[in-house]
Amino acid sequence: MKYLLVLVYFLCYNTAFSQTTIPNITLNTLNGKSVKIQDEISKDKITILSFWASWCVPCINELDAISEVYEDWQEDFNMELIAISTDDARTQKRIRPMVNGKGWPYKILLDKNQELKRALNISTIPQIIILKDSKIIYIHSGYSPGVEDEFYDIIKENSN
C-alpha cells in the first residue's frame, strides 16, 4: 500500500509540473480587447506571470511588494511582469478601480473564465510563473514577505 501511495504521488507530481510552456489561450485587457497570451509574452525577455484576484489579500501584498522593486528589476534585467486576474463574474468589477488605485506598472490581463488557470492546473493563488524564452523556468505558489528577493535571484540567474 505504501508503494502504491508513493507511485501515485510521483505520477501526480510529474503531471502537474511536466508542462514547460504556456498554452495559447485568449485573455482580455482591462479595455476589453482580446489577446492571445503567447503574443503578450516577450520572446526576448524574462516574463513573470502573476496569477491573482482582487479579493486575495496575499496576492495584493505580493503585487505591492514587487511594485516597489519592479523599476529596478527592469533596469537591471530585460524582464516584464504580466498580472493575470482570475476574478470571477462577481468580482471582476473590482479589478479596474483596484489597479488604478494601486498604480501598478504591470500589464494587466483578465482570465475571465479561468481557462488559463485551469490549463496550467493552478489550484491556489497567488501563483508566480517565471518564463525565459517562453519556457517555464520557475513556479511559486503562495506569498510571504521577502519572497520577491527569491524572484530577483531567479531572474538574475537566468538573465544572460
Task: For residue range 56-82, list pLDDT tens digits in order.
Answer: 999 999 999 999 999 999 999 989 999
- Any domain includes 5: no
Confidence at residue 43, expressed as pLDDT on a 0 to 100 scale: 83
pLDDT surpassing 90 at residue 1: no
- Any domain includes 14: no
Task: For residue range 125-135, list pLDDT tens digits in order.
Answer: 999 999 998 89
- Any domain includes 6: no
Which domain, by its residues, includes 51?
22-157
Number of structural domains found in the chain: 1
- Any domain includes 72: yes
pLDDT surpassing 80 at residue 15: no
12-24 b/e (C-beta count within 10 Å ≥ 16 → b): eeeeeeeeeebee
Confidence at residue 5, expressed as pLDDT on a 0 to 100 scale: 39
Residue type, 116: L
Whether the bond into 126 is cis, omega within 30 of 0: yes
- Any domain includes 73: yes
* Other Cβ atoms within 10 Å of 101 Cβ, number: 8
Residue 137 sits in a domain whose CATH number is: 3.40.30.10
Q: What is the DSSP string of 98-116?
A: HHHHHT--SEEEE-TT-HH
Which pTM does this prediction carry? 0.85
By the 8 A CB rule, do 84 and 50 touch?
Answer: yes
**Mean pLDDT value across residues 149-155:** 94
- Any domain includes 17: no
pLDDT surpassing 80 at residue 18: no
Whole-angstrom distance, CA of residue 134 vs CA of residue 103: 27
How does residue 19 score in pLDDT terms, banded at 50, 70 and 90? Answer: low
H-helix or E-strand containing 55?
none
- Any domain includes 1: no
- Any domain includes 87: yes
